[in-house]
Amino acid sequence: MKTYQKVITSFVGVVLLTSMSYAEHIWVGLYTKKSQSTQKSAQSIVSRENIATMSHAIEKEWAKGYFLIDLEEGDRTWMAVFSKGTGYTAQSFYYSGNWTKFEKMIAKKKAQGFSLIDIEYGDGEWVGMFAKGVTFDDQIYTVDKEWSAFGKTTQAKWKEGYRITQVEASDGKIVGLFAKDTSLTQQSYIYRDDWDGVRAVIKDRWNNGYRLSMIEYGEGQWFVLFAKDDNLHSEAYNGIYGWERFRKEVKTYWKDDYDIVSISSGWYD
Protein backbone atom coordinates (compact mmCIF):
# COMPACT_ATOMS: atom_id res chain seq x y z
CA MET A 1 0.00 0.00 0.00
CA LYS A 2 1.26 3.49 -0.72
CA THR A 3 0.09 7.07 -0.33
CA TYR A 4 1.10 9.86 -2.67
CA GLN A 5 0.22 13.47 -2.16
CA LYS A 6 0.52 16.82 -3.89
CA VAL A 7 -0.22 20.13 -2.19
CA ILE A 8 -0.72 23.51 -3.89
CA THR A 9 -1.74 26.64 -2.04
CA SER A 10 -28.05 21.90 -25.94
CA PHE A 11 -26.32 18.53 -26.34
CA VAL A 12 -24.44 17.13 -29.29
CA GLY A 13 -23.69 13.42 -29.18
CA VAL A 14 -21.01 11.62 -31.13
CA VAL A 15 -20.14 7.94 -30.91
CA LEU A 16 -17.48 5.97 -32.74
CA LEU A 17 -17.46 2.22 -32.33
CA THR A 18 -15.09 0.17 -34.42
CA SER A 19 -16.29 -3.13 -35.81
CA MET A 20 -15.59 -5.95 -33.36
CA SER A 21 -16.52 -9.49 -32.56
CA TYR A 22 -18.57 -10.76 -29.67
CA ALA A 23 -17.35 -10.01 -26.13
CA GLU A 24 -14.33 -7.85 -26.90
CA HIS A 25 -12.85 -5.35 -24.51
CA ILE A 26 -13.45 -1.68 -25.28
CA TRP A 27 -12.29 1.65 -23.90
CA VAL A 28 -14.98 4.29 -23.43
CA GLY A 29 -14.43 8.03 -23.24
CA LEU A 30 -16.86 10.71 -22.08
CA TYR A 31 -16.23 14.26 -23.35
CA THR A 32 -17.73 17.72 -22.91
CA LYS A 33 -17.39 20.99 -24.76
CA LYS A 34 -17.95 24.07 -22.66
CA SER A 35 -19.51 27.31 -23.85
CA GLN A 36 -17.57 29.37 -26.37
CA SER A 37 -16.74 31.93 -23.66
CA THR A 38 -15.02 29.26 -21.52
CA GLN A 39 -11.49 28.23 -22.38
CA LYS A 40 -10.75 24.54 -22.93
CA SER A 41 -8.81 22.86 -20.12
CA ALA A 42 -5.19 21.82 -20.52
CA GLN A 43 -5.21 18.02 -20.25
CA SER A 44 -2.89 15.05 -20.51
CA ILE A 45 -3.33 11.28 -20.53
CA VAL A 46 -0.82 8.55 -19.62
CA SER A 47 -0.84 4.76 -19.55
CA ARG A 48 1.20 2.25 -17.57
CA GLU A 49 1.21 -1.52 -17.05
CA ASN A 50 0.70 -1.50 -13.27
CA ILE A 51 -0.31 0.74 -10.40
CA ALA A 52 3.24 1.05 -9.03
CA THR A 53 4.61 2.57 -12.24
CA MET A 54 1.44 4.64 -12.60
CA SER A 55 2.03 6.18 -9.18
CA HIS A 56 5.37 7.55 -10.42
CA ALA A 57 3.71 8.90 -13.56
CA ILE A 58 1.13 10.68 -11.41
CA GLU A 59 3.85 12.40 -9.42
CA LYS A 60 5.49 13.59 -12.65
CA GLU A 61 2.22 15.08 -13.89
CA TRP A 62 1.69 16.78 -10.54
CA ALA A 63 5.11 18.39 -10.95
CA LYS A 64 3.90 19.85 -14.27
CA GLY A 65 0.90 21.48 -12.58
CA TYR A 66 -1.72 18.87 -13.53
CA PHE A 67 -4.24 17.23 -11.23
CA LEU A 68 -5.49 13.67 -11.59
CA ILE A 69 -9.19 13.64 -12.53
CA ASP A 70 -9.77 10.01 -13.53
CA LEU A 71 -8.08 6.63 -13.35
CA GLU A 72 -9.07 3.37 -15.03
CA GLU A 73 -7.71 -0.17 -15.30
CA GLY A 74 -8.63 -2.56 -18.07
CA ASP A 75 -7.11 -5.21 -20.29
CA ARG A 76 -3.81 -5.16 -18.34
CA THR A 77 -3.44 -1.39 -18.75
CA TRP A 78 -3.82 1.52 -16.33
CA MET A 79 -4.90 4.86 -17.78
CA ALA A 80 -4.93 8.25 -16.04
CA VAL A 81 -6.40 11.57 -17.14
CA PHE A 82 -4.98 14.83 -15.83
CA SER A 83 -6.21 18.40 -16.10
CA LYS A 84 -5.32 21.95 -15.14
CA GLY A 85 -7.86 24.51 -13.96
CA THR A 86 -9.73 22.02 -11.77
CA GLY A 87 -10.00 24.35 -8.79
CA TYR A 88 -8.30 21.77 -6.58
CA THR A 89 -5.81 23.12 -4.05
CA ALA A 90 -4.28 19.80 -2.98
CA GLN A 91 -4.43 16.18 -4.05
CA SER A 92 -3.57 12.78 -2.61
CA PHE A 93 -3.45 9.28 -4.06
CA TYR A 94 -3.57 5.96 -2.17
CA TYR A 95 -3.90 2.28 -2.98
CA SER A 96 -4.19 -0.93 -1.00
CA GLY A 97 -5.22 -4.52 -1.63
CA ASN A 98 -6.95 -4.61 1.75
CA TRP A 99 -10.45 -3.08 1.80
CA THR A 100 -10.44 -2.53 5.59
CA LYS A 101 -7.19 -0.56 5.38
CA PHE A 102 -8.55 1.33 2.41
CA GLU A 103 -11.64 2.39 4.41
CA LYS A 104 -9.42 3.56 7.26
CA MET A 105 -7.49 5.74 4.81
CA ILE A 106 -10.74 7.27 3.53
CA ALA A 107 -11.60 8.27 7.10
CA LYS A 108 -8.08 9.60 7.69
CA LYS A 109 -8.15 11.71 4.54
CA LYS A 110 -11.58 13.05 5.39
CA ALA A 111 -10.26 14.19 8.78
CA GLN A 112 -7.47 15.98 6.92
CA GLY A 113 -10.00 17.87 4.78
CA PHE A 114 -9.78 15.75 1.63
CA SER A 115 -12.74 14.49 -0.40
CA LEU A 116 -12.70 11.20 -2.29
CA ILE A 117 -13.18 12.29 -5.91
CA ASP A 118 -12.69 8.93 -7.60
CA ILE A 119 -12.28 5.26 -6.73
CA GLU A 120 -10.96 2.44 -8.89
CA TYR A 121 -10.21 -1.25 -8.54
CA GLY A 122 -7.71 -3.20 -10.61
CA ASP A 123 -5.03 -5.85 -10.25
CA GLY A 124 -6.27 -6.62 -6.74
CA GLU A 125 -5.84 -3.02 -5.54
CA TRP A 126 -8.37 -0.45 -4.38
CA VAL A 127 -7.26 3.00 -5.48
CA GLY A 128 -8.53 6.29 -4.07
CA MET A 129 -8.05 9.78 -5.50
CA PHE A 130 -8.52 12.56 -2.97
CA ALA A 131 -8.62 16.33 -3.36
CA LYS A 132 -9.20 19.59 -1.54
CA GLY A 133 -11.07 22.45 -3.18
CA VAL A 134 -14.02 20.39 -4.45
CA THR A 135 -17.35 22.02 -5.31
CA PHE A 136 -19.63 19.73 -3.29
CA ASP A 137 -20.37 19.17 0.42
CA ASP A 138 -21.15 16.42 2.90
CA GLN A 139 -19.67 13.46 1.05
CA ILE A 140 -20.47 9.89 2.02
CA TYR A 141 -19.91 6.46 0.48
CA THR A 142 -21.96 3.28 0.45
CA VAL A 143 -21.10 -0.37 -0.18
CA ASP A 144 -23.52 -2.94 -1.62
CA LYS A 145 -23.04 -6.46 -2.96
CA GLU A 146 -25.51 -6.38 -5.85
CA TRP A 147 -26.79 -3.81 -8.36
CA SER A 148 -30.36 -4.23 -7.12
CA ALA A 149 -29.26 -3.38 -3.57
CA PHE A 150 -27.31 -0.38 -4.86
CA GLY A 151 -30.49 0.82 -6.58
CA LYS A 152 -32.38 0.81 -3.28
CA THR A 153 -29.49 2.58 -1.56
CA THR A 154 -29.44 5.24 -4.27
CA GLN A 155 -33.17 5.90 -3.98
CA ALA A 156 -32.79 6.37 -0.23
CA LYS A 157 -29.86 8.76 -0.60
CA TRP A 158 -31.65 10.81 -3.24
CA LYS A 159 -34.51 11.33 -0.77
CA GLU A 160 -31.94 12.63 1.74
CA GLY A 161 -30.70 15.20 -0.77
CA TYR A 162 -27.57 13.38 -1.93
CA ARG A 163 -26.46 12.94 -5.52
CA ILE A 164 -24.18 10.31 -7.06
CA THR A 165 -20.66 11.55 -7.84
CA GLN A 166 -18.92 8.25 -8.58
CA VAL A 167 -19.53 4.49 -8.76
CA GLU A 168 -17.07 1.60 -8.81
CA ALA A 169 -18.17 -2.03 -9.06
CA SER A 170 -15.61 -4.78 -8.60
CA ASP A 171 -14.29 -7.40 -6.19
CA GLY A 172 -17.85 -8.28 -5.15
CA LYS A 173 -18.61 -4.70 -4.09
CA ILE A 174 -20.55 -1.82 -5.58
CA VAL A 175 -19.21 1.36 -4.03
CA GLY A 176 -21.15 4.58 -4.47
CA LEU A 177 -19.88 8.07 -3.70
CA PHE A 178 -22.59 10.59 -2.83
CA ALA A 179 -22.51 14.29 -1.97
CA LYS A 180 -24.75 17.30 -1.49
CA ASP A 181 -24.66 20.67 -3.27
CA THR A 182 -23.33 19.12 -6.48
CA SER A 183 -25.40 21.38 -8.82
CA LEU A 184 -26.73 18.20 -10.46
CA THR A 185 -30.50 17.73 -10.56
CA GLN A 186 -32.91 15.03 -11.69
CA GLN A 187 -30.37 12.22 -11.71
CA SER A 188 -31.34 8.90 -13.25
CA TYR A 189 -29.40 5.80 -14.16
CA ILE A 190 -29.59 2.52 -16.02
CA TYR A 191 -27.50 -0.63 -16.02
CA ARG A 192 -27.25 -2.99 -18.96
CA ASP A 193 -25.16 -6.05 -19.75
CA ASP A 194 -24.74 -5.15 -23.44
CA TRP A 195 -23.10 -2.10 -25.01
CA ASP A 196 -25.66 -1.77 -27.80
CA GLY A 197 -28.38 -1.46 -25.14
CA VAL A 198 -26.39 1.30 -23.47
CA ARG A 199 -26.07 3.26 -26.71
CA ALA A 200 -29.82 3.05 -27.34
CA VAL A 201 -30.67 4.41 -23.89
CA ILE A 202 -28.15 7.25 -24.19
CA LYS A 203 -29.73 8.36 -27.46
CA ASP A 204 -33.18 8.33 -25.87
CA ARG A 205 -32.11 10.29 -22.79
CA TRP A 206 -30.31 12.89 -24.89
CA ASN A 207 -33.52 13.40 -26.84
CA ASN A 208 -35.26 14.07 -23.52
CA GLY A 209 -32.83 16.75 -22.34
CA TYR A 210 -30.57 14.76 -20.06
CA ARG A 211 -26.79 14.97 -20.02
CA LEU A 212 -24.56 11.93 -19.83
CA SER A 213 -22.53 12.29 -16.63
CA MET A 214 -20.99 8.86 -16.07
CA ILE A 215 -20.29 5.54 -17.79
CA GLU A 216 -18.81 2.71 -15.73
CA TYR A 217 -18.48 -1.04 -16.05
CA GLY A 218 -18.29 -3.63 -13.28
CA GLU A 219 -19.74 -6.85 -11.96
CA GLY A 220 -20.95 -7.72 -15.47
CA GLN A 221 -22.93 -4.51 -16.04
CA TRP A 222 -22.57 -1.15 -17.74
CA PHE A 223 -23.73 1.59 -15.35
CA VAL A 224 -24.77 4.87 -16.98
CA LEU A 225 -25.71 7.99 -15.03
CA PHE A 226 -27.71 10.93 -16.38
CA ALA A 227 -28.57 14.33 -14.95
CA LYS A 228 -29.96 17.73 -15.90
CA ASP A 229 -27.27 20.38 -16.24
CA ASP A 230 -27.50 23.64 -18.23
CA ASN A 231 -23.76 24.43 -18.08
CA LEU A 232 -22.66 22.22 -20.96
CA HIS A 233 -22.53 23.30 -24.59
CA SER A 234 -22.22 19.78 -26.01
CA GLU A 235 -21.02 16.34 -25.06
CA ALA A 236 -19.86 13.15 -26.73
CA TYR A 237 -18.73 9.62 -26.00
CA ASN A 238 -16.94 6.86 -27.85
CA GLY A 239 -16.22 3.18 -27.45
CA ILE A 240 -13.14 1.77 -29.16
CA TYR A 241 -11.24 -1.51 -29.14
CA GLY A 242 -7.54 -1.13 -28.34
CA TRP A 243 -5.78 1.38 -26.12
CA GLU A 244 -3.59 2.91 -28.84
CA ARG A 245 -6.58 3.46 -31.15
CA PHE A 246 -8.50 4.98 -28.26
CA ARG A 247 -5.62 7.31 -27.43
CA LYS A 248 -5.50 8.59 -31.01
CA GLU A 249 -9.24 9.27 -30.89
CA VAL A 250 -8.83 11.24 -27.65
CA LYS A 251 -6.43 13.57 -29.44
CA THR A 252 -9.06 14.11 -32.13
CA TYR A 253 -11.56 15.25 -29.51
CA TRP A 254 -8.98 17.57 -28.00
CA LYS A 255 -8.45 19.17 -31.43
CA ASP A 256 -12.22 19.74 -31.56
CA ASP A 257 -12.05 21.58 -28.20
CA TYR A 258 -13.56 18.80 -26.08
CA ASP A 259 -12.35 18.01 -22.57
CA ILE A 260 -12.16 14.45 -21.28
CA VAL A 261 -14.56 13.96 -18.37
CA SER A 262 -13.80 10.32 -17.69
CA ILE A 263 -12.65 7.03 -19.16
CA SER A 264 -13.89 3.52 -18.51
CA SER A 265 -13.45 0.06 -19.93
CA GLY A 266 -15.62 -3.01 -20.24
CA TRP A 267 -16.93 -5.68 -22.55
CA TYR A 268 -18.86 -5.33 -25.78
CA ASP A 269 -21.30 -8.22 -25.42
DSSP element (H, E) containing 202: helix 195-207
Which residues, 6 or more positions from 260, have their beta carbon under 8 angstroms from its beta carbon?
29, 30, 31, 43, 45, 69, 70, 81, 83, 250, 253, 254
Distance CA 146, CA 129 (A): 24
Sites in the chain below the pLDDT cut of 50: 1-22, 37
* 183 CB burial (10 A radius; 0-12, 13-18, 19+): exposed
- Three-class HEC string of 25-49: EEEEEEEEECCCCCCCCCEEEEEEC
Residue 233 has what pLDDT? 63
Distance CA 266, CA 140 (A): 26
Residue 195 has what pLDDT? 94
Distance CA 168, CA 55 (A): 20
Going 248 to 91 to 173 to 224, the CA torsion angle's sign is negative
Where in the chain are the domains? 2-9+14-268
Whether 263 contacts 68, CB under 8 Å: no
Nearest to 10 by CA among 238, 254, 253, 230: 230
Residue 238 has what pLDDT? 95
What is the 8-class DSSP label of residue 258? P
